[in-house]
């Protein structure tokens, strides 16, 4: 097989409204560390492209715009490109030129606006064009620098994360819950050249890059940016890429203190990055890496997930409740308005990519903020330790809770109306839809012949 990697600094120039926290009050005040776009091209019987972006996420307008541009320039089909977001809350959210696919709640120009329509957003559109053109340039660089080599997989574990869903007699509390079961796999893919020199290191782990909180006004990749930088210092000449997993309810254990979560300082964030880097190095040095004899098959599916038909009275009561936060209250006002207008959403599409790297090795990537339990379910369906599960891929719009989380309640299950004016919480059957679509897609690939 052949491979190549490239990267570029995509740090926004000048003050921007950072995304991820609803209670920031002004634009960014500088840069703690640059944010990057990185690309890895894999070529065997067909060509695959992995893109990582240090951003909160994007809407469909960004994803479709970038993938259309890559297909026009290089012939890469949508199903052959994965765009994975680190989900750092110290960067921005991306949009694109298609108004019909645009999420208009956020803009890098002026933050959150609950009354914004799909209007022209000049600064956001200019940044989209910059990132799109950067990715086209990086991909061209990858094609120009393809080299023969080998792809290998190693795995370990890390307790870098902790659940933020603590069960209490009065319901789910936003607090550290170290007893929770979650996917603690730390999977490393490494690409080496014919002389066995390490050239690319992709590490997959699940954790919200929210070691720092809304009081941070500096652009940053958070711990993931620090970890990648430290890995590149440890392995000179190699490009390190963070592949975000299913971390909807997971935060850095570094941010847990005295039964609650704190906003880490910049020094503590860097320490968190060093902690994860040490875990990755341990996998690199102690794990037995198995070669992947590449034979690629890919499919992209886009099922619909449905919400409950929540009555308008629920939102009226929410708005009238004194202790409801301002962000949620404004979200409820917007959703109530959409219900009365008849434009409220009661379903949402969800991209699911399934890649077979060979007969034993799968990469399954889901759009949105996916609960860790989905990763556990998927890996139990495909035992053997050779399944990689990503969240925050090909878009990031809303939380995808499990049936159990929906029954329990809590932020990840109940806050649907905060994201795109959805009518209510997702119905419990979305778990069956997500898992069923993955099984169906995997079966389809197993019956396909690899493209010669």
**pLDDT of the residue at 309:** 95
**pLDDT of the residue at 359:** 93
At residue 351's C-alpha, the angle toward residues 186 and 49, to 5°, is: 60
Question: Cα(443)–Cα(240) distance, rounded to whole angstroms?
Answer: 32
Question: Cα(153)–Cα(385) distance, rounded to whole angstroms?
Answer: 10
Query: What is the pTM for the complete model shown?
Result: 0.97
Question: Cα(201)–Cα(238) distance, rounded to whole angstroms?
Answer: 7
CB distance 203 to 240 below 8 Å: yes
Residue 140: what are its φ and ψ, rounded to 5°?
A: -60, -40
Q: Where are the strands (E) in 302-345, listed by range?
A: 304-306
Strands 218-219 and 30-31: parallel
Residue ranges in 235-294 assigned as alpha helix (H): 266-286
Q: Which of 54, 50, 67, 139 is nearest to 94 (CA)?
A: 54
Question: Cα(200)–Cα(41) distance, rounded to whole angstroms?
Answer: 11
Question: Cα(275)–Cα(334) distance, rounded to whole angstroms?
Answer: 41
Q: Cα–Cα distances in Å, from 370 out to 206, 309, 396?
A: 10, 22, 9
- Taken in order 65, 363, 373, 182, the sign of the CA dihedral is negative
Output the tens digit of pLDDT for each of the chain's 452 residues.
999 999 999 999 999 999 999 889 999 999 999 999 999 999 999 999 999 999 999 999 999 999 999 999 999 999 999 999 999 999 999 999 999 999 888 999 999 888 887 778 999 999 999 999 999 999 999 999 999 999 999 999 999 999 999 999 999 999 999 999 999 999 999 999 999 999 999 999 999 999 999 999 999 999 999 999 999 999 999 999 999 999 999 999 999 999 999 999 999 999 999 999 999 999 999 999 999 999 999 999 999 999 999 999 999 999 999 988 888 899 999 999 999 999 999 999 999 999 999 999 999 999 999 999 999 999 999 999 999 999 999 997 799 999 999 999 999 999 888 887 799 999 999 999 999 999 999 999 998 876 54
**pLDDT of the residue at 450:** 64
Question: Cα(88)–Cα(208) distance, rounded to whole angstroms?
Answer: 7
- Taken in order 102, 349, 306, 376, the sign of the CA dihedral is negative
pLDDT digits (tens, 9 = 90+) for 314-349: 999 999 999 888 888 999 999 999 999 999 999 999
- Taken in order 410, 408, 437, 152, the sign of the CA dihedral is positive
Q: Which of 188, 202, 196, 201 is nearest to 149 (CA)?
A: 196
**pLDDT of the residue at 369:** 97
Residue 251: what are its φ and ψ, rounded to 5°?
A: -125, 165
Question: Cα(129)–Cα(93) distance, rounded to whole angstroms?
Answer: 14
Which pair of structure tokens corresponds to residue 296?
Answer: 């690629």
Strand partners, 390: 365
Which pair of structure tokens corresponds to residue 165?
Answer: 């869903």
**pLDDT of the residue at 400:** 97
The three-class DSSP label of residue 365 is: strand
Question: Cα(48)–Cα(189) distance, rounded to whole angstroms?
Answer: 15
**pLDDT of the residue at 452:** 43
């Amino acid at each position: 097989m052949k491979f190549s990697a490239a990267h570029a600094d995509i740090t926004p120039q000048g003050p921007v409204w950072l995304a991820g926290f609803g209670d920031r009050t002004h634009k960014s005040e500088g840069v703690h560390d640059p944010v990057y776009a990185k690309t890895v091209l894999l070529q065997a019987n067909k060509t695959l492209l992995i893109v990582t972006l240090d951003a909160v996420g994007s809407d469909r307008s960004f994803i479709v715009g970038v993938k259309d541009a890559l297909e026009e320039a290089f012939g890469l089909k949508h199903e052959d490109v994965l765009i994975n977001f680190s989900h750092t809350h110290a960067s921005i959210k991306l949009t694109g030129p298609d108004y019909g696919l645009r999420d208009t709640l956020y803009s890098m120009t002026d933050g959150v606006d609950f009354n914004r329509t799909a209007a022209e957003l000049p600064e956001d559109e200019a940044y989209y064009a910059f990132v799109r053109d950067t990715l086209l340039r990086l991909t061209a660089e990858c094609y120009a620098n393809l080299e023969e080599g080998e792809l290998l997989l190693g795995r370990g574990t890390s307790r870098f994360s902790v659940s933020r869903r603590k069960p209490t007699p009065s319901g789910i509390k936003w607090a550290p819950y170290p007893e929770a079961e979650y996917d603690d796999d730390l999977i490393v893919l490494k690409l080496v050249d014919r002389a066995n020199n390490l050239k690319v290191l992709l590490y997959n782990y699940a954790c919200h890059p929210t070691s720092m909180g809304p009081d941070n006004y500096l652009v940053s990749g958070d711990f993931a940016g620090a970890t990648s930088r430290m890995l590149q210092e440890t392995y000179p000449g190699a490009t390190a890429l963070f592949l975000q997993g299913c971390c909807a309810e997971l935060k850095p254990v570094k941010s847990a203190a005295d039964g609650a979560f704190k906003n880490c300082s910049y020094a503590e964030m860097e320490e968190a990055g060093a902690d994860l880097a040490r875990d990755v190095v341990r996998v690199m040095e102690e794990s037995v890496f198995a070669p992947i004899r590449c034979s690629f098959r890919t499919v992209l599916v886009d099922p619909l997930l449905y919400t409950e038909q929540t009555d308008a009275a629920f939102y009226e009561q929410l708005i009238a409740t004194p202790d409801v936060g301002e962000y949620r209250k404004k979200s409820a006002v917007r959703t109530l308005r959409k219900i009365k207008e008849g434009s409220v959403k009661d379903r949402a599409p969800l991209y699911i990519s399934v890649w077979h790297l060979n007969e034993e090795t799968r990469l399954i990537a889901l759009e949105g903020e996916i609960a860790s339990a989905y990763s556990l379910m998927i890996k139990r369906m495909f035992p053997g330790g050779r399944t990689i599960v990503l969240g925050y891929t090909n878009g990031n719009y809303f939380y995808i809770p499990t049936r159990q989380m929906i029954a329990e309640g809590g932020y990840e299950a109940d806050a649907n109306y905060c994201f795109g004016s959805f009518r209510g919480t997702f119905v419990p059957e979305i778990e069956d839809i997500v898992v069923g679509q993955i099984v169906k897609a995997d079966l389809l690939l197993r019956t396909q012949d690899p493209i010669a």
